[in-house]
Structure 1
Amino acid sequence: MKSTSDQPDLSIGEIAARFGLPTHVLRHWESVGLLFPARAVAGRRRYGTADLYRIATILRAKEAGFSLDDVRAVLDEPDPAERRRILARQRSALTERIARAQASLEIIDVALRCEHEDIAECPHYRASLAARIGGR
């Protein structure tokens, strides 16, 4: 679904500053069909409220590990059932990444509590890595 320009009426520089992005990122997203800003005098891009939400969605999806193609598929898929399938697949992948990150965080926490000179000799540290060594 293409966004429309509604209030507020912001320039590319204002939008970039609001989101902490370089303007070339917004231009790239437009070139790959993720953004559709309105055009004002002399072809200048103007962004409305719908664009703000679309950019926020793109950023959040990128933070979750979505590719730009995945983001476009979610945002532009007209069939709600297909959009749910795409999102379910992304949710599963994100859940797996979160689990791996949580396991890594737990190992770091064990290492932080270790008082051994050589952390590799610490029985608690070794125990925290046992599942990984077991072929997982």
Structure 2
Amino acid sequence: MAAELGIEAHVLRHWEHEGALTVRRDDNGYRLYDDNAVEQARTVLKLRRVGLSLPEVVAAMAPKKSTAQAVVRAKIAALENEILSRQQAITFLRHAVECRHRYLDECPDCANFVRDA
């Protein structure tokens, strides 16, 4: 299962321990990854790759839809804020590259960027 997902086996065990993954066991205690467990693991992996922490993943996979939606909405807002911040950084850096002043602290536009940060 771990090889199929491209992750280490200990990661699957950690997800199970933290409650993000439910895996049945046979009579000898070996994990049985049925179709449901495989899909659940793929979902956990995708949520992790889009930036959710493991506790957020657990909450996002909660049976109560409103709980899951709240976590996902919060992550969307955080990502949108990150995009805005990076766009502002790019704007500042583009200006810095093209700035006609020798030193950035001599430039009124750069000073405005710094004050707005």
Q: Same fold (TM over 0.5)?
A: yes
Aligned position for 2:15: 29
User: What is aligned with 1:74?
Assistant: 60
State the shift of 1:105 in Å: 6.0
SS at match of 1:26: helix
1 CA distance for matches of 2:13 and 2:116?
A: 45
Residue deviations 1:40-74, cap 9 Å, x none? 24211111222222222212222222111111011
d(CA) in 1 for partners of 2:90, 2:30: 46
Residue 107 of structure 1: CA displacement?
7.0
Q: Deviations over 1:57-93 (max 9, x none)?
A: 21222222211111101112x3322322222112111
Q: In structure 2, how many angstroms separate the alpha carbons of the residues matched to 1:64 and 1:101?
A: 17
Q: CA RMSD in A?
A: 2.9
Give the share of equivalent positions with the same residue, in percent. Answer: 26
Q: Kindly tell me the number of residue pairs found equivalent between the two proteins.
A: 110
Task: Choose the corresponding residue for 1:123, options 96, 99, 104.
Answer: 99
Q: 1:122 to 1:25 in 2, by over 3 A?
A: same
Structure 1 residues without counterparts, runs of 5 or longer: 1-14, 112-119
Unaligned runs of 5+ in 2: none
Are residue 88 (structure 1) and residue 69 (structure 2) matched?
Answer: no
Larger RCO, structures 1/2 (Cα 8 Å, 6+ apart): 1
